Amino acid sequence: MAKPRIFIDGEHGTTGLQIRERLAVRDDLDVLSIPHEERRNADKRAELLNEADIVILCLPDDASREAVAMLEAAGNATTRVIDASTAFRSADDWVFGFAELEPGQREKIAAARFVSNPGCYSTGAIALLRPLVRSGLLPAGYPVTINAVSGYTGGGKAMIAQMENPDAPDAISANHFLYALALKHKHVPEIVKRVGLARAPIFTPNVGRFAQGMLVNIPLHVDLMNDATLAAIHHCYDEHYAGQDVVEVASLKDIAAAARLDAEEMTGTDRLKLYVCGTAGAGQVNLVASLDNLGKGASGAAVQNMDIMLRG
């Protein structure tokens, strides 16, 4: 039987390179590749796009739309697509590639032709919020605030150069900075849609001087929720993520013993760890998701979705 043919369109970018490294050690796939000097050759791109069984798009939004248009122009109705950009994350005709979103999502991904990879920040936020909205513990209209810090690789090659090369003309000297000050971050629409929120959250992303890793934290007032307690929230996560091995829910005992949480804790993994922090009966909780922004937050998620699509 022929091996599945995989083409990473944009393999020379940060996310694409990490996917390429993951696939390089596998002998069950035929990975198609375009030389760096040919990456802007539209005819060669179109050839590989149409030759592949699954295409993983690691491109800017417009280039992802262009790649999908190339398939349509060729009358291609068989090549399956995983898109890592923002272009299709809120599209109704694309399956959202977060297998742990809710029961049945993995099966939807397995059967889909078009799958949209979640963003890194939104992976953590959705993992924390969707179970609570779905269970009824969190009202859809709750005024949610999301705070997050990411490793600088999330900004792609440009930010990597700005952070690592002090002689660059646009070098960033700050060890930590807040951005998206206009409160219009590109991940907000997919968070609203995929969680089922009735109002947009206030989202404040930050970047730290470390390469990979991420913490997403969401503070909540328990009295504004529905019959919620710290233990009930933790139990909700235990039930929601039972039976799978990608998302881990830290025990309340371990959380109580922790003095701090490290944004680099999950670096080098494709997993996600959730924490329910606070003091029982105090009326407040701080929900935290820890992940590698290039693992479960990008490249790792794309490979996970690819494997689900291949295995059915």
Give me the active site residues, please. 120
Helix (H) or strand (E) holding 296: none
Strands 176-178 and 202-208: antiparallel
Q: What angle do CA 297, 303, 305 make, to 5 degrees?
A: 90
Question: b/e string for 44-56 if b means 16 or more Cβ within 10 A?
Answer: ebbbbbbebbbbb
DSSP H helical ranges for 136-229 = 156-164, 188-195
Residue among 149, 84, 137, 140 at smallest CA distance from 115 = 84
- Cα–Cα distance for residue pair 237/124, rounded to 1 Å: 13
> Looking at this protein, which amino acid is placed at residue 244?
Q
Is the CB of residue 130 less than 8 Å from the CB of residue 101? Answer: yes
Residue with tokens 């398939």: 71
> Looking at this protein, which amino acid is placed at residue 210?
F
- Cα–Cα distance for residue pair 278/256, rounded to 1 Å: 8
What is the distance in angstroms between the CA of the first residue and the CA of the last residue of the chain? 17
SS3 32: strand
- Bridge partners, residue 284, by sequence: 221
